Structure 1
Amino acid sequence: MTGARADLAVIGGGQLARMMQQAAIGLGVRIRLLAEGPDVSAAQVIPDHRVGDHTSLDDLRAIAADVPVVTFDHEHVPPEHLRTLEAEGHACRPGPHALLFAQDKGAMRTRLSELGVPCPRHGRVSSLADLEAFGFPAVVKTTRGGYDGKGVWFLESAADAEEALATGRDLLAEELVDFRRELAALVARRPSGDMVVWPVVESRQADGICKEVLAPAPDLAPRLADEAAEIARTIATSLDVTGVLAVELFETTDGRLLVNELAMRPHNTGHWTIDGALTSQFENHLRAVLDLPLGPADALTRWSVMVNILGGSVDDLESQLAVVLDAVPDIRVHLYGKAVKAGRKVGHVTAVGDDLTDTLTRARWAADLLEKGTKDD
């Protein structure tokens, strides 16, 4: 850690913090980073970093020293530590009172139901009897810690419940929603309450991991687009979120919206905004947490398609980059500086254009070349 003046402390050294740094450079914002290791994704590009543990109050105090505002690459910092930082004069954005609802799915479901936000039928469960009373089929999730399909079980009957119950974790059961597709609405909110909302997008999953994002969501009824944006505004305001809030939604087969998950930070479904919107989610997150005026969230082009690069047969992404840029010269490539591991998010590509089919084809082609070295037919 250099000890230089910093405007913002970021906890967590993943790709989200790395992309915050891209936005920070243009704004002249100096970030100080608490990283999990010396060469994690964000530590590679943020000189002012310290290796430490986000669960250690001493490490959090050290990284926040003389820094007025703290924000996050993930939602896993213990809330009691954040309350201590706040008491010592640091603005944590979002604050522990808001982050609770991204950290604990049970608390989130309870609060959203109180607000009248549409959610799947749900209930806390701790035994086979609880699950049988809830009914099958069901989706069972750990209330804390799950992501990218981890900590989630799809149960058709009581015979499938053993693994989930054996974890000893707090569990939440939800109905298995009959949905047409998954959507996401992203909003950025300042402490004053000023907000901007990006176009609602469609997200496509593979093995529980977001694989593709189409912006805006194709053929989305205007009433549903308006409803999704209003749900995001309501949640951001009611939970007092500062920064970017991502609301993941189901569009059901009978034309309703149900909230699936919340994230109180920049989100995978908003990566397209770097190349496809007037103001990226990362820039507006920084503006919001530093209480600066927000930038417009309008799309720059008719379509943007983001495809995640998952670890595959290509080991040397940097060498493969020349192949990709030669084959798809108008693609935008974002590599995260991570070692390639099967199924791991190691980067993403974004294509923009006026024709959805062409834009989707170009984005998939580039991602295939970075994952497999060849284009899928």
Structure 2
Amino acid sequence: MVGGGQLARMTHEAGIPLGLKFKLLSDTPQDSAAQAVADVVVGDYRDLETLRAFARGCDVITFDHEHVPLEHLRALEADGVPVRPSPDALAHAQDKGVMRERLTALGVPCPRHRIVRDPADVTAFAQEGTGYPVVLKTVRGGYDGKGVWVVRSEAEAADPFRAGVPVLAEEKVDFARELAANVVRSPHGQAVAYPVVESQQVNGVCDTVIAPAPGLSEELSGEAQELALRIAKELGVVGHLAVELFETRQGEILVNELAMRPHNSGHWTQDGSMTSQFANHLRAVLDLPLGDPRARTPWTVMCNVLGGDYPDMYAGYLHCMARDPQLKIHMYGKDVKPGRKVGHVNTYGDDLDDVLERARHAAGYLRGTITE
């Protein structure tokens, strides 16, 4: 697995029961997964020879991020190394402009959009639609709210162009809520779909995920799952695909983003589904039969633990575990920085209000924003 973050750490954990020999290419020995994996190569994923040396002896290469240069991945494929997802698929997760162009050609519902050249072009785009505000995104490298701006005038539109990369303009959708449809697809075409979830963001960062999305009609849920499965097939995705969606106030869905790896909106599956997203991602890239994606209980809630004014962690564990013996805590071993995802908690049960309260209390206590 290329990338040493928490997604690699949790994927490795899912592979232990299968007896997999898990090899990791990590930026530093201190990265989240590097702390837990035995076979770690420290190196730069942007260097082709480093990637080639890492890939020797590997049966398959997969990723915990989408940033490896596509030309390097094509070189690995030419060397005979299976790369999953393939560079042709991964291009749609690396470049938002490529993604929008392909999805539009497939007839997938998306926000109104186009590549813009400068702030004046942003104003022209706004005038073609409903005016300002407009959402601007750098086509590469953005995540967790980074590389995304909501601008309300031409003067505010200058910042995104300073990065020197193409900028995508999108209409600001008046959505009712954000959803996510997570699916997994194997090389021989088997695919499974997890229950559609509601994803709640705070300052551009995922805060809470509710599985399944409360009050979502069976018709719209099925439509979202079918759309995600179609996108996975059309783009040739192998492994886990997260399709982030807007549910509009008119009861329609629009595709916001794609991620071709395990995803924050699927962390609930570790404790809430028959087969986690991490286990199914491994099964897919190894072309094993996929596992059952159904939920174990009526409700599961995931809350991220973000860096803050941390209390003593041992004391935090004492409180949270004593208060809620069913609570599942997943910490990533990362240095605490304000707003950084350093862990998450999962709760589950029959009563949504109770499950929500338990998850939010635990995440808040571990962060230090709740003290009793």
Same fold, TM-score > 0.5, yes or no? yes
2:332 paired residue number? 336
Could you tell me which amino acid in structure 1 is paired with residue 65 of structure 2?
Answer: H
2:289 to 290, 293, 301: 293
Could you tell me which amino acid in structure 2 is paired with residue 326 of structure 1?
Answer: A
**Partners of 1:34 and 1:261 in 2: how far apart?**
26
Residue by residue, what CA displacement relative to the aligned partner does 1:96-126 show, whole Å, maximum 9, x if unpaired? 0000000000000000000000000000001
Residue by residue, what CA displacement relative to the aligned partner does 1:313-360 show, whole Å, maximum 9, x if unpaired? 115435522222122221000000001111100000000000000000
CA contact (8 A) 2:119 2:155 kept: no
1:282 paired residue number? 278
User: Within the alignment, does 1:124 sit opposite 2:124 as a pair?
Assistant: no
Could you tell me which amino acid in structure 2 is paired with residue 75 of structure 1?
Answer: E
**Partners of 1:317 and 1:96 in 2: how far apart?**
41
CA contact (8 A) 1:365 1:375 kept: no
1:3 paired residue number? none
1:303 paired residue number? 299
Residue by residue, what CA displacement relative to the aligned partner does 1:36-89 show, whole Å, maximum 9, x if unpaired? 101210011100011001101111112111112000010000001101111111
**Partners of 1:374 and 1:245 in 2: how far apart?**
34
Identity %: 57
Moved more, 156-165 or 265-274: 156-165
1:263 to 259, 262, 267: 259
3-state SS of 1:236 partner? helix
1:14 to 2, 5, 27: 5
1:112 paired residue number? 103
3-state SS of 2:49 partner? helix
1:159 paired residue number? 155
User: Within the alignment, does 1:178 sit opposite 2:169 as a pair?
Assistant: no
**Partners of 1:30 and 1:203 in 2: how far apart?**
33
2:73 paired residue number? 82
2:197 to 179, 196, 201: 201
CA contact (8 A) 2:123 2:154 kept: yes
Structure 1's unaligned 5+ residue stretches are 1-9
**Partners of 1:30 and 1:319 in 2: how far apart?**
35
**Partners of 1:193 and 1:321 in 2: how far apart?**
43
CA contact (8 A) 1:68 1:89 kept: no
**Partners of 1:370 and 1:165 in 2: how far apart?**
38
2:64 paired residue number? 73
1:3-82 equivalences in 2 (<5 Å):
10-82=1-73
**Partners of 2:151 and 2:324 in 1: how far apart?**
42
CA contact (8 A) 1:315 1:340 kept: no
3-state SS of 1:229 partner? helix
Could you tell me which amino acid in structure 2 is paired with residue 121 of structure 1?
Answer: R
1:4 paired residue number? none
**Partners of 2:315 and 2:361 in 1: how far apart?**
17
1:248 paired residue number? 244
1:139 to 132, 135, 138: 135
Residue by residue, what CA displacement relative to the aligned partner does 1:213-258 show, whole Å, maximum 9, x if unpaired? 0000000011110110011011000000000000000000111100
Label 1:375 to 1:181 Cα distance change in 2 as closer, same or farther (>3 A): farther
3-state SS of 1:361 partner? helix
CA contact (8 A) 2:242 2:260 kept: yes
3-state SS of 1:71 partner? coil
2:93 paired residue number? 102
Could you tell me which amino acid in structure 1 is paired with residue 225 of structure 2?
Answer: A
**Partners of 2:246 and 2:326 in 1: how far apart?**
32
Could you tell me which amino acid in structure 2 is paired with residue 57 of structure 1?
Answer: L
Moved more, 262-271 or 127-136: 127-136
Aligned residues: 367
User: Within the alignment, does 1:239 sit opposite 2:198 as a pair?
Assistant: no
**Partners of 2:245 and 2:370 in 1: how far apart?**
33
**Partners of 2:81 and 2:317 in 1: how far apart?**
41
3-state SS of 2:41 partner? strand
Moved more, 80-89 or 280-289: 80-89
Question: RMSD over aligned Cα, in angstroms?
Answer: 1.1
